[in-house]
Amino acid sequence: MTIGAGLSLALMLSACSGSPEGGDSADGTIDVWAHSGQASEAAALETLVKEFNSSQDDVTAKLTLIPEADYTSTIQATSPDELPDVMEMDAPTMAAFAYDRKLIPLEDVVSSETLDNRISGVKESGTYNDATYAVGLFDVGLGLWGNKTLLAEAGIEAPTTADEAWTVEEFRTNLAKLAEVSPSGKAIDLGEANGFAAEWGTFTTTPNIWSAGGTLMKDGKADGVLNSQENVDALEEWASWKEFADPNTSGSAFPDGQTALTWTGNWMYPTFSEALGDDLALMPLPDFGNGTKAGHGSWQWGVTPAAEGNTEAAGSFLDFLLTDESIAAMVEANAAVPGSTTALEQSELYGPGKPLELFATNLESACSSDDVSADCIAVARPVTPGYPTVTSSFGSALLAIWGGADVQGELDSAARAIDSDFSDNNGYQDE
């Protein structure tokens, strides 16, 4: 979408959002923005909004769904006082919106019961400068999915826990074996069709560098960190998998049984389980030496300055969204990891012995990308207002590396671009 189109969309939406006095709605109406992604997820949200409105007489939530491709740019193009009272956001964008004064802290808006009940991954990705700016109904898991029949044909046993994760050497060997038994002649779908230059690239390859002992930034600096030897080695290894990777132009290589493996998240479970049934295996990502790692951080909710004078109404809506009943309805639609500890305990997918237990276990040890230990599995992408530049620069490097470019050179260039942006913006330090 062009900048001009984004601005036009933002102005159109802002005209029907908020209220003349900056969101102070005397009639108890709150305006809500959310992204329109999966059809089942959008339908679940629309139902939840209707249930909230019918559950009481004091507050009416008016929902506007915005296409996912336009969503973040629409928020970026809208001034704080023209935003809705409540808005959804992808977790990595939270810090940038807080820095731009488009979010307010939630400690005095959302109930302490709601905040205390969040799983650790949701807490980690919703916190900036020691304050809560976002809360979420769910989190995500990232892992390897396998076809048990093809794995058995290749004489390979699927690991089921983090401690059993294949070493990177075992993974490389298994790719070669699985390519021989996969009907496509390729062992794995790495999501190339989703675009490595997009957020997909950052989300799915950072576990490799964290597992190798690297990270993207440290203390607001990328040079000497992003382009470290650990990261170079990890991405050279990743690029070497290209000969075994199916570009998946059909969009269904794994569920159609064309590849033995795929590298993706929990949201594909409904499709995969329907296609493979008992043949479906969920496995941890490979261990590069610092333990298996996985990304996390998904769509969350915040309150904007437009809600000043009406934060109680906004808070009541978020408290409703984060009840176990609401969370259960949403995760039934998108197969995500329930975002509250009590909802997680009741989950038919993520509880002990359930098919997606691995994802829930990973999130129990969520940590920051500034401090990635061997014991930590789920790692949040950098929580910084400069994240858009970080992911854009890193994604551009990934795309070039996948195309055969020199890894060290691409990471050097990305590190310079990131540090230049941070320098131009005073390190994104709050004034």
Is 170 within the bounds of a domain? yes
- Contact indicator for 147, 279 with CB cutoff of 8 Å: yes
Range of the domain at 209: 142-296+376-428
Is 354 within the bounds of a domain? no
- For residue 317, what is the domain's CATH number? 3.40.190.10
258 and 323, same domain (yes or no): no
198 and 238, same domain (yes or no): yes
- Which is nearest to 343 in space by CA: 365, 357, 327? 327
Rounded CA-CA distance 256/274 in Å is 11
Rg (CA), the chain: 22
Is 303 within the bounds of a domain? yes
- Contact indicator for 330, 336 with CB cutoff of 8 Å: yes
117 and 147, same domain (yes or no): no
Query: What's residue 431's pLDDT?
Result: 59
396 and 268, same domain (yes or no): yes
Distances, alpha carbon 386 to alpha carbons 109, 297, 390, in Å: 26, 17, 6
125 and 179, same domain (yes or no): no
Mean pLDDT by 10 residues, the chain (431 residues): 36 38 55 93 96 96 95 95 96 96 97 96 92 97 97 97 97 98 98 96 97 96 98 98 96 97 95 97 98 95 95 96 96 93 93 92 87 91 94 98 98 98 93 59
148 and 22, same domain (yes or no): no
Quick one: how far is CA 3 from the chain centroid?
A: 24
383 and 340, same domain (yes or no): no
Total number of domains constituting the chain: 2
Query: What's residue 26's pLDDT?
Result: 35
Query: What's residue 368's pLDDT?
Result: 85
39 and 105, same domain (yes or no): yes
Is 406 within the bounds of a domain? yes
Rounded CA-CA distance 397/400 in Å is 5
Distances, alpha carbon 239 to alpha carbons 13, 205, 243, 298, in Å: 42, 10, 9, 26
For residue 426, count CB atoms less than 10 angstroms from its CB and return exposed for 0-12, middle for 13-18, buried for 19 or more.
exposed
**What 3-state DSSP class applies to 337?**
strand
45 and 20, same domain (yes or no): yes
pTM: 0.88
171 and 103, same domain (yes or no): no
Element at 208 (helix H, strand E): helix 199-211
Instruction: Write down the residue that tokens 């040079």 correspond to.
Output: 223
123 and 58, same domain (yes or no): yes
Contacts of 276 (CB under 8 A, 6+ apart): 147, 148, 255, 257
115 and 130, same domain (yes or no): yes
- Contact indicator for 112, 106 with CB cutoff of 8 Å: no
Per the DSSP assignment, residues forming a β-bridge with 189 are 262
Instruction: Write down the residue that tokens 């940038």 correspond to.
Output: 96
